[in-house]
Structure 1
């Protein structure tokens, strides 16, 4: 993590973070429909996170984006719950403690925004991601909350903030 910085996304990061997210989803064999792969916002992440109570952070190393994650109000849900969104790391970012630092950055921002809980969706075979979520205090839910449009993600988790 020596030369890595976690910082808010800028417009010039859009193409790189979209490429990182799509390559990770392809690497894990994630369906392209019903997941983040098909999100319209993927090619305009900076613009998608400019509204109030939204934030997206990227990890930059040697002028390259190697990962990112964001926080935003849970879609189609009436309550003070945010969603951890689009947390993906390129292979060179993994196993270095970067995920833990990114999680802290996002959850701190969620608390700053005043959210009471944080929700996320993932896939059952994304083992390292699920380990990070459990380590961060997330617990499993029986069914999804809100309507994120990610119907192919069938692991739902929540954490009290």
Structure 2
């Protein structure tokens, strides 16, 4: 496995690279994210992912921490329910997929959510994103009812109790 380094995003230094990764993520979905006020989210980074708002954002670097080597990201934000956060924007650039970066980002996000005293983590994904859904299931996420108004057909809503998530037991698969 290649060396993957995970670091917290630093603002304002990492604003441009995070915005670029988020935009690539949105483009890869091939859906309109305007219902999530996506353009506003990009313009206000770190916004809802800021530490003072109960959030965090991590970057994955391949082999070293130079900005040119950033290969992915993940964000966590506070959710309206008490002790609950939401995982957002897990994205790995296509050429770096299969190297373990998504697992490392998930580990960092879950560890930080626990440090922030969250008990539950929510996420939404698309039914078509089978590799992502398999990863989430390995981390203990289970499908739940729709938890916010999302007009995208095929959206899958998931939740995990963080006390039940064991990062070290989540194994990579070659699928």
Pick the TM interval, shorter chain: 0.7 to 0.9
- Please name the residue that 2:95 is paired with: 92
For residues 37-52 of structure 1, the aligned pairs below 5 Å read 38-48=38-48, 49-52=50-53
Residues 39 and 117 from structure 1, CA distance in 2 versus in 1: closer, same or farther, beyond 3 angstroms? farther
Residues 9 and 102 from structure 1, CA distance in 2 versus in 1: closer, same or farther, beyond 3 angstroms? same
SS of the aligned residue for 1:78 comes to coil
Aligned-pair Cα RMSD in Å:
2.2
* TM-score of the pair, normalised by structure 1: 0.83
Aligned equivalents of 2:115, 2:129: Cα separation in 1: 28
SS of the aligned residue for 1:5 comes to strand
For residues 56-67 of structure 1, the aligned pairs below 5 Å read 56-61=57-62, 62=64, 63=66, 64=68, 65-67=70-72
Shift of 1:150: 4.9
Please tell me whether the aligned partners of residues 25 and 89 of structure 2 are also in contact (alpha carbons under 8 angstroms): no
* TM-score of the pair, normalised by structure 2: 0.77
For residues 1-161 of structure 1, the aligned pairs below 5 Å read 2-10=2-10, 11-35=12-36, 38-48=38-48, 49-61=50-62, 62=64, 63=66, 64=68, 65-74=70-79, 77-144=80-147, 147=148, 150-152=150-152, 154-161=155-162
Shift of 1:52: 4.4
Structure 1 runs not aligned, ≥5 long? none
Structure 2 runs not aligned, ≥5 long? 163-175
Aligned equivalents of 1:57, 1:119: Cα separation in 2: 17
Q: Looking at both structures, which has the greater relative contact order when contacts are Cα pairs under 8 Å and sequence separation is at least 6?
A: 1
Aligned equivalents of 2:36, 2:127: Cα separation in 1: 13
Residues 6 and 121 from structure 1, CA distance in 2 versus in 1: closer, same or farther, beyond 3 angstroms? same
Q: How many residues align?
A: 155
Q: Larger deviation: 6-15 or 48-57? A: 48-57
